[in-house]
Amino acid sequence: MNVFVTVFLCVGIFNLTTVGPNVHASSIQSTTTQPECHTPGCLKAAREIQSFIDPSVDPCDDFYSFACGKFLKETQIPSDKDQVTVFTHVEQSLQNQLKLLIEEPQTKDEIKPFTLLKNFYTVCMNTSAIEADGINTVKEIIKDLGGWPVVEGKAWKEHEFDWQWSVFKFRKHGLGTDNFISFNLFPDFKNSSRRMLNLDQVELELDRENWITGLSDEVVKAYFNYMVEVAVIFGAERKFAEYELEVMIRFRGELANITLPPEERRNETALYNPMTIRELQERYPSIKWVEFINNVMAFTDRGMTINDSVVINVPEYISQLEKLLQKTSRRVQANHAIFQAVRSLQSYLPERIRVLQDKFETVLYGTTTRMAKWRQCINTAKDMLGHAAGALYIRTYFSEEARRSAIEMVTNIRSKFVDILRMLTWMDESTKATAIDKAMAIHAHIGYAVELLDDKKLEEYYEPLNDFYTTNYIHFIGNITMFKTDKTVGLVWTPINKTDWVTRPSPIVINAFYDPSENGIQFPAAILQGIFFDSDRIHAMNYGSIGQIIGHELTHGFDDEGKQYDKNGNLVNWWDEGTDEAFSEKAKCIIDQYNNITVPEVKLNLHGINTQGENIADNGGLKEAYLAYQSWVEVHGPEPQLPGLNYTANQLFWISVANTWCTCHRKESLRQDVLTDNHSPPKYRVLVPLRNSDYFHKDFHCKEGSNMNPKEKCSVW
């Protein structure tokens, strides 16, 4: 790899709308006589905002370029990254903190999960051992899986491969089994106290349309070249590999074509098709369902029988899959499945494989190098051993003040959402009462589960791995994966405990979540820091940053998918028909609004249907956070201005909203986001909700008809 890091200026990605120096800024700056705050926290906050904003841009013309302009102009995208966001900075800080903890010498009184974590990191960092093993371990695994046809050529024994039986071998090596049918263990959509096995369509890497387009698609062509090079390293003859893998590419196109596109998967009721395995066998007789399911699950106690029930998410997919597999040779099936396995292990393989991965990802994301080895190993360690890494982290770094403040903000923001519900004129009273009941029932899990402070509980959880140690990285990965899968499989027959700590996200995940089956929101410790939250700065900024995210997650309970569940997490239609139609009309306004936005850098329109849930949550969450901040001011009084920034606290709220989403994208990465992400690109997560907000244009005095205050606005909540 090139040791020199190439960087790109973000200003080359986004076109900024600018005006003369400070021409417009003075018209929106504060004319109040609020005193300035000169505490260390306020000084730091002022410096942060000054590092983001471009005051030469008229905020009523392009608020994103105003609030993020300096960040966009001055931020450089390192060659190992496809984008740089404020999340990037928090992630790097988290990696630095974890590195210090994990690299501390082991002690004799250290609990075993922490020793396991440190051992794993050490093995990951041992590049000489990884290079010495080369691909031998993976070759042994492939041999046990039945061999890779593209490598073995005519020597491959086609009659010995059965995709239904092969999943058992994939499972015992810690490899994915979702090569043809995806298996998920979810709460029963209509009875959230129990779990149901869901059988779904396959999830292929890359966008569905990429595969359907085939080798004429630039990304698929790069993927094909990558596959060929990998196969050659494993021993395939190049010309033969090109022929075999081109056939496989066509198979993946056919496989993608029988999947349901994401815009048709938003009706949860349509995805809920429970049936006994006996009924499954009668409807789709070519698959030996009892044997197949038990091979995938590899139960340690009782297996599934013909009388047990599962959920089929897309019945038509299973029907079409039967037909497709009957006309597809076993060679093609095996080439597809084995490459899936190799692809899943690529990040743990020697340099000559990694450089091929890098070359493909240059086409996919625009990156030209990869992140430092220690950062890779920190990320892998926290992904594989999340509870151990999370427990180690929160015992040193997490602020209890952040937890207390977040809990208070959840209470305030939820209260404002309930007020919004009460004032709606388009909801009938019965539906409104049920909606309020659901909002008040939302559980909030903030920071971390207290069990992570309990050494005994941690040791009990990881007990099956206590005696496991190897210097073989692939085997280490496989054993931890099997351990985690066994933990999940072990939950099949047990009632759901909605307070169970082991099913919660690790506290070192920089994200937030709404779980419709639980009717709960989750804010891991890692997101309650940095630009998202700081107890030493004014509350306007916290409500603008983490506050809008809290509101966003609360609103997910009432977006087009969340609204399909009741307060107990069950799939129940609690909507009056007329009110449901009114919701659909309001959602359609949001859909059409985003559909009509073209992202000029990639010449693609946003996908309003696929992103509608996130867009509804963005718009509603912003409003709730703003109103909650106004209530805070009513109780505590107006906040001071920040030094050197002549903006009101309300204006700082909106600036903080935008600062949260400031992002520098590579064009390739932006294109993938538009095509595959169910969120709108960050720029439009700022511009569109603010254009829809009457509160925003009042605080910045934007004239009606200006770009940030259009006459036509959309609102659901």
Structure tokens at 315: 């019945």
3-state secondary structure of 237: coil
Angle between helices 351-365 and 667-676 (to 10 degrees): 80
Chain mean pLDDT for the chain: 92
Which is catalytic among the residues 308, 361, 618, 624? 618
d(CA 29, CA 517) in angstroms, rounded, equals 45
pLDDT band at 33 (very low <50, low <70, confident <90, very high): low
Which two three-digit tokens encode residue 162? Answer: 């059965």
Cβ atoms of 38 and 537 closer than 8 Å: no
Query: DSSP for 317-363?
Result: HHHHHHHHHHHS-HHHHHHHHHHHHHHHHGGGS-HHHHHHHHHHHHH
DSSP class per residue in 262-305: GGG---TGGG--EEEHHHHHHHSTTS-HHHHHHHHH--SS----
Q: DSSP code of 174?
A: T
The residues, ordered by sequence, that sit 6+ positions from 516 with a Cβ below 8 Å of its Cβ are 556, 557, 561, 562, 564, 565, 569
Q: Is residue 193 part of a domain?
A: yes
Q: Which amino acid is at 460?
A: E
CA atoms within 13 A on the CB side of 649: 22
CA angle 297, 344, 264 (to 5 degrees): 70
* 8 Å CB contact between 492 and 485: no
Give the range of the structural domain holding residue 210, as residue numbers without chain letter. Answer: 155-348
> What is the average per-residue pLDDT within 647-664?
97
Query: What's 36's DSSP letter?
Result: B
Asked if 365 contacts 82 with a C-beta cutoff of 8 angstroms, the reply is yes
Can you tell me the mean pLDDT for 356-381? 94
| Confidence (pTM) | 0.92
The stretch 286-293 carries a mean pLDDT of: 95
Could you read off the pLDDT of 464-474 as tens digits, one per residue? 998 888 999 99
Q: Is residue 608 part of a domain?
A: no
| pLDDT of 593 over the 70 cut | yes
pLDDT of residue 201: 97
| CA dihedral over 23, 27, 29, 33, signed as positive or negative | positive
pLDDT bracket for residue 10 (50, 70, 90): low
With respect to residue 310, please indicate whether it lies within any of the assigned structural domains: yes
Q: Does residue 41 fall inside a structural domain? A: no
CA 650/CA 36 separation, integer angstroms: 15
DSSP state of 39: S
> Taking phi first (over 0 means left), then psi (-120 to 50 degrees means alpha), and beta for anything else, what does residue 467 get?
alpha
**CA distance readout (Å), 11 to 74, 684, 685:** 7, 17, 19
Answer yes or no: is pLDDT of 395 > 90. Answer: yes
Task: Mark whether 131 is an active-site residue.
Answer: no
Question: Within a domain: residue 290?
Answer: yes
Cα distance between residue 598 and residue 600, in whole Å: 6
- Mapped onto helix, strand or coil, the DSSP state of residue 466 is coil
618 is annotated as an active-site residue? yes
The least confident of 2-16, 74-88, 130-144, 257-271 is: 2-16
pLDDT at res. 17: 31
CATH number at residue 268: 1.10.1380.10
**Is residue 343, in this structure, part of any structural domain at all?**
yes
Task: Return the amino acid letter for 3.
Answer: V
pLDDT value at residue 630: 98
What is the rounded average pLDDT of the residues 160-164?
Answer: 93
Answer yes or no: is pLDDT of 64 > 60: yes
Calculate mean pLDDT across residues 257-276.
Answer: 96
Measured distance CA(177)–CA(399) in Å, rounded: 40
**Which entry of 553, 624, 668, 699 is annotated as an active-site residue?**
553
Q: Is residue 664 part of a domain?
A: no
How many other β-carbons are positioned within 10 Å of the β-carbon of residue 144? Answer: 12
Q: Return the H-helix or E-strand segment holding 524.
A: strand 520-524
223 located within any domain: yes
Sign of the Cα torsion 518, 440, 631, 401 reads negative
Provide the number of structural domains found in the chain. 1
Which of the residue ranges 22-36, 344-358, 460-474, 691-705 would you say has the lowest mean pLDDT?
Answer: 22-36
Mean pLDDT of 184-194: 94
DSSP H or E stretch at residue 188: strand 181-188
Continuous segment of H or E residues that includes residue 594? helix 577-595
Q: Which residues contact 446 (CB under 8 A, 6 or more apart)?
A: 403, 406, 407, 410, 523, 528
pLDDT of 19 higher than 50: no
Could you tell me whether strands 191-201 and 443-447 are parallel, antiparallel, or unpaired per DSSP bridges? unpaired
pLDDT for 34 equals 74
Average pLDDT over residues 545-568: 97
Phi-psi region of 153 (alpha: psi -120 to 50; beta: other; left: phi over 0): left
Residue 449 has pLDDT above 50, yes or no: yes
